[in-house]
Structure formats: structure tokens, C-alpha cells
Structure 1
Amino acid sequence: MSVEVDARRLLSDEEIAAALEDLPGWERQAEKLCATFNFSDFSEAFGFMSRVALVSERLFHHPEWSNVWSTVDIAITNHAAGGLTELDLEFARRVSKL
């Protein structure tokens, strides 16, 4: 499944701020969208990471992330475009639905 978004056009500060209003838990840190997800234990966190990996592969857009026991930190940006694009927002939307 491919996604039909413009992965090359950088978003304006206003577009990013407006999109973040509909993405609870996500915040902008410089040119990345970041979120922290907390789970009851490592197994639950790892299961979430597996589902995020499937989203990443479908979008062909891969995050920077880390896991410490029950916590998963995710940061996403479009390195090829040099900042945030609609593809980053689509990634965050899909991950938030998990």
C-alpha cells in the first residue's frame, strides 16, 4: 500500500502547528515530530514497535526510535527533504491510531 502525499514539499510552521492540534502526544522538536509512548511492560512496548515497523514499511518512511523497558520514544523527519513534510504527518497519524 502506498501513500499519496507530497513527501518533498516542506511544511510551513503554520501547517505543522495546525496538524499538531489533531495529534495529541506529538510535539515539534526542531525539524522532527516526536512522541513518547508508555506501556505496562516490555512485551507490550515491543508489540507496539512491531506494529510501527509495519507502518514504516508501508510508507517507506522510517523513524528514529528507542525503547527502554515499557517506554518507546519516536522521532520522525524527512531527511531527503530537509525537514517536515506531509509524509511525517501521515506517519504520526497512523502511529497514533495504533
Structure 2
Amino acid sequence: MAAVPPPPRLSPDELSAALLGLPLWSGDGDGIRRSLRLPGFPDAVAALVRIAFVAEQMDHHPDVDLRWRTLHLTLVTHSAGGVTELDLELARRIDGLLPG
């Protein structure tokens, strides 16, 4: 089975326009980021588990840094060398799972 090529990297203008619709995210062509502060460590872990299930369904996984009750997420399509539509879709799905 042949490998599926990654989606194209977004241009700076495409990414800027897309981030207008994702107000909880910021970043540049090297990655988009969001941090969440949750009530406690178990809540942060539970949020990470919910994200993991969505990411696994998409076969597209975030870079995650969990610090006590704060979850730092970075989305980038490493195989494309930057942010793609896959990252935007995962960001939208994460926003649907988690509080603002």
C-alpha cells in the first residue's frame, strides 16, 4: 500500500484567515497552540484522554505538554513541515470537546 502524501502546508494568509475562526488558538506556519487551565490534575488528564480519542480517530496527533492542571497543545503536520488543514480540523474538534 502506497503512503498517502501529507496535505499541503497552509500559506501565511490562509493560516491568518483560519485563525480568525479559532480564537482560542494562536501561532504561525510552524504550529498552532492553545493552553487550557483546568480545575485540577485529574481534569487535565481527562481532557487529554478525550483529545487522544479524537486524535486517534483522525490519525493526527498533537504535541502535548501537561503541567499539573494546565494542558499545552501544539498542532503541526510534521510530514508537511508546517500547519495544514488537518491541524485546523483537529483544533476545531478539540474546541468542541473542551471549555473555552
Higher helix proportion:
2
Q: Distance in 1 between matches of 2:49 and 2:43?
A: 10
* Structure 2 residue 65 is the aligned partner of structure 1 residue 50: no
Q: Size of the alignment, in residue pairs?
A: 93
Q: Which residue is 1:75 aligned to?
A: 74
Structure 1 or 2, whichever has the larger Rg, is 2
Identity %: 37
- TM-score calculated relative to the size of structure 2: 0.87
| Pairing 1:19-30 to 2, within 5 Å after superposition | 19-30=18-29
| Pairing 1:1-98 to 2, within 5 Å after superposition | 7-98=6-97
Give the Å deviation of 1:68.
Answer: 1.0
- Which amino acid counterpart does residue 79 of structure 1 have in structure 2? H
Structure 1 vs Structure 2 CA RMSD: 1.4
Ranges of 4+ aligned residues in structure 1 off by more than 2 Å:
none
Give the Å deviation of 1:8.
Answer: 1.6
Structure 2 residues not aligned, in runs of 5+: none
- TM-score calculated relative to the size of structure 1: 0.89
Give the Å deviation of 1:7.
Answer: 4.4
